[in-house]
Amino acid sequence: MLTPRERLIEEDLAKQLNCSRGPVREALLRLERDGLIVTVPRRGTFIRDISTESIEVIFSIRGKLEALCVRYLRQELTEQTEETLRKALKAMKTAATSGDEEAFLQADLELHQTIWKLSNRDQLYRTLNTIMNPFIFMVARAFSTRVPIKQRYRNHEGYVDSILTMPLKEVEATVEGYFRTLYEKLGIQIRPGLLLPNSAAKAPGAPELEV
């Protein structure tokens, strides 16, 4: 798995993917447009890093906005809404049971996007999709995989149960608390000097690429 600050060499990637350099070059340009990588003159192309301060702000914003989504969802809750949410959760369970990390991470994203969409507030939905861009999910992925996949599923199961059954007046505070706890757990791993996963090492000559 590619990691933050890792240098990307076009020729090496082409060999690994068994393709010509043209498609690799196009893919790198697209990734740079999406903010996932950055090119430093005379030094090369690197996967971007992110500062602890940026992550804290993003988690705080996400917690508040998803809390609003949950409040609106609960105010208009129907059997069909709950069924849709349970179906999204079931996809996570299937992936966790089979130990499929890729499917689990995709189902995780789709579960939260389902919550945003079920709020029936287009502006909230668009804002959250903008905040939680591919770069943020890449960072989250680098650290979330340290927790056993079945434990991550149980955490999400508890989250869904709480937002569906918690008294309406408590749901916003509960959701904000959920994301605050997630950040605090993540913060232990990303405190200054420990931003990379344990298995990763900063590439020789790699610049600091925080955002």
Whether residues 113 and 16 share a domain: the answer is no
8: domain CATH number?
Answer: 1.10.10.10
31 and 84 in a single domain? The answer is: no
Same domain, 135 and 99: yes
Question: Quick check: 211 pLDDT over 50?
Answer: no
For residue 125 the two structure tokens come to: 């939905």
Q: Indicate whether 60 and 124 sit together in one domain.
A: yes
pLDDT at residue 138, rounded to an integer: 65
* Claim to verify: residue 150 and residue 166 sit in the same structural domain: yes
The answer to whether residues 122 and 33 belong to one domain is: no
Q: Which of 99-108, 128-137, 152-161, 200-209 has the lowest mean pLDDT?
A: 200-209
Same domain, 167 and 79: yes
With b meaning 16 or more CB within 10 Å and e meaning fewer, what string describes 121-155?
Answer: beebbebbeeebeebbbbbbbbbbeeeebeebbee
- Specify whether 106 is located in the same domain as 166: yes
Mean pLDDT of 3-12: 84
**Domain identity same for 199 and 174:** no
CATH, residue 134: 1.20.120.530
**Same structural domain, 124 and 159:** yes
Same domain, 41 and 128: no
Structural domain total, the chain: 2
pLDDT digits (tens, 9 = 90+) for 23-80: 999 988 888 877 778 888 989 999 877 677 777 888 899 999 999 999 999 999 999 9
Output the pTM of the full model: 0.73
Three state DSSP letters for the chain: CCCCCCEECHHHHHHHHCCCHHHHHHHHHHHHHCCCEEEECCCEEEECCCCHHHHHHHHHHHHHHHHHHHHHHHHCCCHHHHHHHHHHHHHHHHHHHHCCHHHHHHHHHHHHHHHHHHCCCHHHHHHHHHHCCHHHHHHHHHHHCCCCHHHHHHHHHHHHHHHHHCCHHHHHHHHHHHHHHHHHHHHHHHCCCCCCCCCCCCCCCCCCCCC
pLDDT at position 142 is: 66
Q: For residue 199, give its domain range.
A: 1-49+195-211
For 90-113, the pLDDT digits (tens) are 999 999 999 999 899 999 999 999
Nearest Cα neighbor of 59 from 196, 148, 190 is 190
**What's the pLDDT at 88?**
97
- Indicate if the pLDDT at residue 197 is higher than 50: no
Residues 61 and 153 in one domain: yes
Confidence check: pLDDT of 139 > 90: no
